[in-house]
Amino acid sequence: MKVTIVPCLSDNYAYLLSCGDGSALVVDPSEAAPVVSALEREGLRLVGILATHHHHDHVGGIEDLLAKYGKMPVFAHESDEGRVPGQTEKVKEGSKAEAGGLTFEPLHVPGHTTGAVSYFGHGAVFTGDTLFVAGCGRLFEGTPEMMYTSLCEKLAKLPGDTKVYCGHEYTASNLRFSLYAEPENAAAKDKQTRVLAMRERGEPTVPSTIAEEIATNPFLRVTEAALRERFPGETAANVLGAVRKAKDNFKG
């Protein structure tokens, strides 16, 4: 699978996915114009849309793409029916999302929203606003317990070399918080050095990998002693809630 990163809006990423037969899927088209340009540049024909959740900065381009290219499958969680424009396919845990010669397993990962889905397949996972590089989405519709299950019991259990493609370029500021939460985390320090150089060169910091996230992302590290001491909680989910609250108020 070839993945083309398509920067949208101020800090969003959409992704074109192609298996090499000239067709492509797009993940989270927040706006149509950059997606259309990328399709033309790559010589690809759009045949399907994967939506990770209903927020406008992830689905805002769907209607324009459908108007331009005609009917095609639009995948989103079954509970997001009515919230994702043009949705034709209702995915859920255990179902499949298949189009353009590619097949993905949708993981239902509530927390940021109740209908959040990550699409796993071909050695990659598209996480929208659930798992960011070195961070996670705000808990708009879900609880810390939901986010704990989504991040630590589902996404963190994927193979370590799975490439992580998320919905926003928040990595540099996320890593400032990672190092506030866990000042002695050498892997996070090392990642920060690499990320700052990449941003200096104007490069995206995606993809990360699940193994790198387990090493550097405080939200995947809530069972580590250093984090539990700083953010006490009875359960790992409580710790995650405390870390999330600290991040919400972090002015680093």
For binding to Zn ion (CB under 5 A), which residues are involved?
55, 129
How many C-beta atoms surround the C-beta of residue 162 within 10 A? 19
Among 80, 129, 212, 213, binds Fe ion (CB under 5 A): 129
How many C-beta atoms surround the C-beta of residue 60 within 10 A? 18
Q: Which is nearer to Zn ion, 118 or 185 (CB)?
A: 118
Please state the closest distance from residue 112 (CB atom) to Zn ion, in A: 6
CB 63 within 8 A of CB 85: yes
Three-state DSSP class for residue 144: helix
Of 2, 5, 7, the closest CA to residue 22 belongs to 2
Please state the closest distance from residue 57 (CB atom) to Fe ion, in A: 4
Please state the closest distance from residue 81 (CB atom) to Fe ion, in A: 20
Q: Any idea which residues carry the catalytic annotation?
A: 53, 55, 57-58, 112, 129, 168
Task: Say whether residue 31 binds Fe ion (CB under 5 A).
Answer: no
Picked from Zn ion, Fe ion, none, the partner binding residue 29 (CB below 5 to 8 A depending on kind) is none
Please state the closest distance from residue 209 (CB atom) to Fe ion, in A: 21
Inter-axis angle of helices 186-200 and 171-181, nearest 10: 160
Q: Which is nearer to Fe ion, 100 or 110 (CB)?
A: 110
Quote the CA–CA distance of 51 and 59 in Å, as a whole number. Answer: 7
Q: Which is nearer to Fe ion, 121 or 137 (CB)?
A: 137
Q: What is the DSSP string of 235-248?
A: SHHHHHHHHHHHHH
Helix segments in 149-249, DSSP class H: 171-181, 186-200, 210-216, 225-230, 236-248
Picked from Fe ion, Zn ion, none, the partner binding residue 77 (CB below 5 to 8 A depending on kind) is none
Q: Which is nearer to Zn ion, 119 or 231 (CB)?
A: 119
Among 28, 31, 57, 169, binds Fe ion (CB under 5 A): 57
Residues that bind Fe ion (CB under 5 A): 57, 129, 167
